[in-house]
Amino acid sequence: MTRTVAEMVHEAKTNIENLTPEAALNEQRSGSVFIDIREPQEVQTGTIAGAHHAPRGMLEFYADPQSPYHQAFLDPSRRTVLYCASGGRSALAAQALHQMGYKNVAHVDGGVRAWQEAGFPLAATTA
């Protein structure tokens, strides 16, 4: 059976926690780990303050403590909030992390676009 990416994203969103930008801002203020999964050229336009970058194509490798690519900012025991440009990739990514044992993971529904539409700023990148 063939499935479209829209169907996959819809299914993921029914299985994960979807945060509004306002709820995500509260998460940011409470110290949740934010992960920007956009591509490097997208991140150059700005990022949510304090977010770590893990491109979608490397996320599972960065998240797996057994992987040689593991990044310490990805920890299955910490609250983790993912975001992308509009929420599709981050929904799929949140579902993937959940399948990897990350039990306290969510994503920003609507992504950076919704974050900015809610009036929240992006920080300049240092890279």
Do 108 and 90 contact (CB within 8 A), yes or no?
Answer: yes
Q: What is the mean pLDDT of residues 96-110?
A: 97
pLDDT of residue 111: 98
Any idea what the Cα angle at residue 87 is, between residues 26 and 123, rounded to 5°? 55
pLDDT digits (tens, 9 = 90+) for 40-83: 999 999 999 999 999 999 999 999 999 999 999 999 999 999 99
- Judged against a pLDDT cut of 70, whether residue 126 lies above it is answered with no
What's the confidence (pLDDT) of residue 60? 97
pLDDT of the residue at 125? 80
**% of the chain exceeding 70 in pLDDT:** 98
Q: What is the dihedral of CA 40, 91, 10, 119, to 10 degrees?
A: -80
DSSP-derived secondary structure for 13-36: HHHSEEEPHHHHHHHHHTTPEEEE
Question: Would you state the pLDDT for residue 1?
Answer: 77
| Boundaries of every domain in the chain | 5-117
Helices (H), ranges, 40-122: 40-43, 59-63, 88-99, 111-117
Q: Tell me the fold of 5-117.
A: Oxidized Rhodanese; domain 1 (3.40.250)
Burial 61-95 (b: 16+ CB within 10 A, else e): ebbbeeeeeebebbebeebbbbbbbbbbbbbbbbb
| pTM, entire model | 0.94
Tell me: the pLDDT tens digits for 4-20? 999 999 999 999 999 99
